[in-house]
C-alpha cells in the first residue's frame, strides 16, 4: 500500500495527485479548476457557478440522463461546488467502477454541450436560486458586509452573482468562460482510495493527453490586504432573531498568520471547520465568547468563520441574539474579550485546549475517502497538498506571542465591518 501522496504533471500541464488507501473498496476523484468568483469581472458575476451547472447538461458521449445513471447505478455519488477561488467536481464510487468517473470527467473538460435552450432553462434556475437566497437573513447580511469590505476585489461579490448579470449573461459568454478555464493547465485531479497508482496515472494520461493547453489569460485581481475603515451596516427583515456579524480582514491561507488566526478563532469562538464536506463537530463551550455571551444569556450562540483563500478575505464572528437582547451590549463584550486577548498573556493551558479542539475538528473532516481526496485538491488551490499534510504540525507551533501579535495588528476596532440584521422596529 502506498499511502503517501504522489504528484504527476502531464505535458499539457494537468496535475495528478494520488493517495492509495486500501481499507475500503472505494475511490473518490475530484477534478479542480482554478477559477471561481475571484476571477470574474464586472458584468459577468456568477458566471463560474453557472458554468458549473451547465457541466451537468451532458456531452455527445454522455447525454444528461446517461451521466447521472452512469454513477448512481453503481451506488456512487457525485456533485460539484463553486467557490471564491475554484470550481470542483467529484465522484465517489466502488473502486472497480472508477473508470466511468475518470472517463466522464475527461469528456466534460472538452466536450460539454452548451445548448441554447438548456442555457435559458438554467438561467431560470440560477435566478431562482439567487432570489431564494435573498430571503435568507444571513445571505443578505453577508452580501452587504462583503460589498463594504472590498473596494474592487471580486471577493466583494457573492458566488451566485448579481441578479442583473444573471439576466444578461449569454450562452456565448458561458461557453467562452468554459473554454478559457476548463483546460488541463488550469486543472488538478486529486484521487484517493483503493487503486494502484501506476494504473490510475496511466489511465488518466491516456484520457487527457489529447486535450491541449489553453493560452487564454486568467483575470488575477490585486489583493486588498487591509480594511481601511470601520463601518456599521444595519438591515431590517422578517423574523424574530437578531444577527450580529463582526468582520475583520483575514490573511491568505498560505501564511503563518493564517495558523495564528486558526488558534485565535478557537480561543475566542471555538474552531471553524475549513472543510465543505463536513465530518464531525467540536463543542465551543470552553471558548471565551461562549462563556461571556451565551452562558450569561446575552446571546443564543456565537461562532467564528475562517476561510482558506488565495487572497486576504474576511474573518467573521457571528452572534445570534433574541429580539429582547442588546446588540450594543454583545458588541461591547466582544470588544472587551478582544482587548483582553491583546493585553494579557494567553496561558499555555488555554492554547493547548484551543489547539486540541482545532486538531480534532480537522481530523474529523479528514476521515473518509471522499474527504481525503477533497483535502488534497482543496489545499492545492491556495497552496499545495503539503499544506494539508502539515496543518496540525503548524497549528501546534503557534505561540501566545503570535496570537497576541496577530490580534493587535488585525483585530482593530477602526478596521472592521459591523453588520446587524434585526426584525422591523427593533432597536435593541
Indicate if 290 and 373 belong to the same structural domain: yes
Domain final residue, candidates 158, 178, 208: 208
Domain range holding 365?
Answer: 230-422
In a domain, 329, yes or no: yes
Work out how many domains the chain is built from and give that number: 2
What are 239's three cell numbers? Answer: 423574523
What are 47's three cell numbers? Answer: 458566471
Indicate if 283 and 369 belong to the same structural domain: yes
Distance from C-alpha of 327 to C-alpha of 141, rounded to nearest angstrom: 15
Give tens-digit pLDDT for 55-76.
Answer: 999 999 998 888 778 788 888 9
pLDDT at 378: 97
Does the pTM of the predicted model rise above 0.85? Answer: yes
Burial status of residue 198 (CB atoms within 10 A of its CB: 0-12, 13-18, 19 or more): exposed
In a domain, 158, yes or no: yes
Find cell 482545532 and name the residue.
358
Helical spans, DSSP H, in 344-399: 348-364, 369-382, 385-389, 391-396
| Angle value at C-alpha 272, between 236 and 377, nearest 5 degrees | 115
pLDDT band at 1 (very low <50, low <70, confident <90, very high): very low
Please give the order of strands across the beta sheet that includes 416-422: 230-236, 416-422, 242-250, 313-321, 301-305
- Eight-state DSSP code of residue 58: B
Half-sphere exposure of 289 (CA within 13 A, CB side): 31
pLDDT at 255: 96
Cβ atoms 264, 296 nearer than 8 A: no
In a domain, 65, yes or no: yes
In a domain, 220, yes or no: no
What are 290's three cell numbers? Answer: 461562549
Please compute the mean of the pLDDT values over residues 345-353 and round it to a whole number.
Answer: 89
Domain final residue, candidates 143, 174, 208: 208
Stated length of the chain: 428
Cβ atoms 416, 230 nearer than 8 A: yes
Distance from C-alpha of 341 to C-alpha of 169, rounded to nearest angstrom: 48
In a domain, 110, yes or no: yes
Tell me the CATH number at 165. 3.30.830.10
What are 115's three cell numbers? Answer: 445548448
Indicate if 192 and 247 belong to the same structural domain: no
The mean of the pLDDT values for the chain is 93
Closest CA to 28 of 383, 422, 278, 369: 369
Please compute the mean of the pLDDT values over residues 398-426 and round it to a whole number.
Answer: 93
Indicate if 307 and 417 belong to the same structural domain: yes
User: Of 427 and 299, which is predicted with more confidence?
Assistant: 299
Give tens-digit pLDDT for 111-125.
Answer: 999 999 999 999 999
Domain final residue, candidates 147, 174, 208: 208
Distance from C-alpha of 139 to C-alpha of 158, rounded to nearest angstrom: 9
What are 399's three cell numbers? Answer: 505561540
Indicate if 23 and 163 belong to the same structural domain: yes
Helical spans, DSSP H, in 35-115: 47-54, 64-72, 98-111
Amino acid at each position: 500500500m502506498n499511502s503517501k501522496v504522489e504528484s504527476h504533471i502531464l505535458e499539457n500541464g494537468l496535475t495528478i495527485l494520488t493517495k492509495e488507501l486500501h481499507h475500503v473498496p472505494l475511490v473518490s476523484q475530484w477534478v479542480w479548476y482554478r477559477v471561481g468568483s475571484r476571477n470574474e469581472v464586472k458584468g459577468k458575476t456568477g458566471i463560474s457557478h453557472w458554468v458549473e451547472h451547465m457541466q451537468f447538461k451532458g456531452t455527445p458521449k454522455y447525454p444528461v440522463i446517461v451521466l447521472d445513471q452512469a454513477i448512481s447505478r453503481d451506488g456512487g455519488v457525485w456533485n460539484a461546488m463553486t467557490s471564491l477561488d475554484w470550481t470542483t467536481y467529484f465522484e465517489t464510487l466502488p473502486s472497480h467502477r472508477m473508470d466511468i468517473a475518470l472517463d466522464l470527467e475527461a469528456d466534460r473538460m472538452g466536450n460539454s454541450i452548451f445548448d441554447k435552450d438548456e442555457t435559458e432553462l438554467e438561467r431560470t434556475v440560477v435566478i431562482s436560486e439567487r432570489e431564494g437566497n435573498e430571503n435568507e437573513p444571513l445571505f443578505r447580511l453577508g452580501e452587504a458586509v462583503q460589498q463594504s469590505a472590498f473596494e474592487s476585489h471580486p471577493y466583494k461579490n457573492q458566488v451566485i452573482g448579481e441578479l442583473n448579470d444573471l439576466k444578461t449573461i449569454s450562452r456565448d459568454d458561458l461557453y467562452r468562460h468554459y473554454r478559457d478555464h476548463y483546460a488541463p493547465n488550469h486543472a488538478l485531479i486529486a484521487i484517493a482510495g483503493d487503486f494502484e497508482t501506476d494504473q490510475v496515472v496511466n489511465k488518466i494520461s491516456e484520457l487527457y493527453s489529447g486535450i491541449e493547453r489553453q493560452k487564454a489569460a486568467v483575470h488575477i485581481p490585486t489583493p486588498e490586504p487591509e480594511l481601511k475603515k470601520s463601518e456599521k451596516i444595519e438591515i431590517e427583515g422578517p423574523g424574530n432573531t437578531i444577527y450580529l456579524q463582526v468582520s475583520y480582514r483575514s490573511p491568505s491561507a498560505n501564511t503563518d498568520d493564517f495558523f495564528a488566526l486558526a488558534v485565535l478563532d478557537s480561543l475566542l469562538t471555538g474552531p471553524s471547520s475549513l472543510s465543505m464536506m463536513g465530518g464531525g463537530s467540536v463543542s465551543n463551550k470552553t471558548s471565551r465568547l461562549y462563556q461571556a455571551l451565551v452562558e450569561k444569556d446575552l446571546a443564543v450562540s456565537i461562532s467564528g468563520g475562517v476561510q482558506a483563500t488565495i487572497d486576504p478575505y474576511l474573518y467573521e464572528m457571528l452572534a445570534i441574539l433574541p429580539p429582547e437582547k442588546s446588540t450594543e451590549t454583545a458588541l461591547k463584550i466582544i470588544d472587551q474579550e478582544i482587548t483582553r486577548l491583546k493585553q494579557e498573556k494567553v496561558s499555555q493551558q488555554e492554547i493547548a485546549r484551543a489547539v486540541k479542539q482545532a486538531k480534532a475538528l480537522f481530523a474529523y473532516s479528514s476521515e473518509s475517502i471522499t474527504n481525503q481526496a477533497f483535502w488534497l485538491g482543496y489545499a492545492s488551490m491556495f497552496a499545495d497538498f503539503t499544506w494539508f499534510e502539515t496543518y496540525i504540525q503548524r497549528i501546534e507551533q503557534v505561540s501566545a506571542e503570535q496570537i497576541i501579535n496577530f490580534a493587535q495588528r488585525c483585530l482593530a476596532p477602526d478596521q472592521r465591518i459591523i453588520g446587524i440584521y434585526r426584525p422591523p422596529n427593533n432597536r435593541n
